[in-house]
Amino acid sequence: MSLSKTRIYAIIALVVAITLLGVALYFITRAAMSEATILSIINGIATISLAIVAFINMTESKKVRGEIVRPHLSLEPSFFEYNQAGEIVGFNCLNLVNGGTVARDVEIDITLKGKSSLFYTSSIGTSERVQIWNGEPEELGGNVTVAIKYKNMFNKNLQEVLSINIASLNEAKRKFVPIHRS
């Protein structure tokens, strides 16, 4: 269960507990209190419950807003090599593509066969791509790992690690599918 679902269930349980406590308080003290006092207590419990629900809604909205302004980075192999049967056997170029908002102050660390290369670009805009590797498919080794540190449009530091496990793709006999731009 995700953290947000756990939090929602905990708050629902809290609201139910407060309501049950209010109802119990009503039946215990109804003879000793006036009707206006009892209605004030019930009104207070309802107000607290609504405030809790509004707080949950506010925090979830904040998460959604944060996701909307986040760059969405991915790896894009290109310039494929084909065998005699017409099947793709590898690729000669690897791009870092942004499908979200602008990524700024981008630091890119790519690791191939235990060797790391460090790159930097000031920004990657929406639908833009940066070439981070080109060469022969054999140079890739069994696993390609790309660690990216960047800032979103509000200068919040973010980081991602993207990878392509070529060895497991080959073991599973999966073939690369070419990407066509529209």
pLDDT in tens, 156-179: 899 999 998 887 877 777 777 777
Residue 118, φ and ψ in degrees, nearest 5? -115, 130
Is 105 in a helix, a strand, or coil?
Answer: strand
At residue 67 the predicted structure's pLDDT band, cuts being 50, 70 and 90, is: confident
**Could you tell me the sign of the dihedral formed by the alpha carbons of 128, 130, 135, 138, in that order?**
negative
CATH of 73-171, one of 2.60.40, 2.20.28, 3.30.70, 3.30.720: 2.60.40
Who has greater pLDDT, 136 or 29? 136
Sequence letter at residue 56: I
Quote the CA–CA distance of 124 and 68 in Å, as a whole number: 16
Quote the CA–CA distance of 161 and 145 in Å, as a whole number: 7
Q: How confident is the model over 66-89, as a mean pLDDT?
A: 82
On average, the pLDDT of the chain sits at 82
Q: How confident is the model over 31-59, as a mean pLDDT?
A: 79
Q: Do residues 95 and 132 touch, judged by C-beta distance below 8 A? A: yes
**Could you tell me the sign of the dihedral formed by the alpha carbons of 79, 74, 133, 173, in that order?**
negative
- The answer to pTM > 0.85 is no
Structure tokens at 164: 């392509």
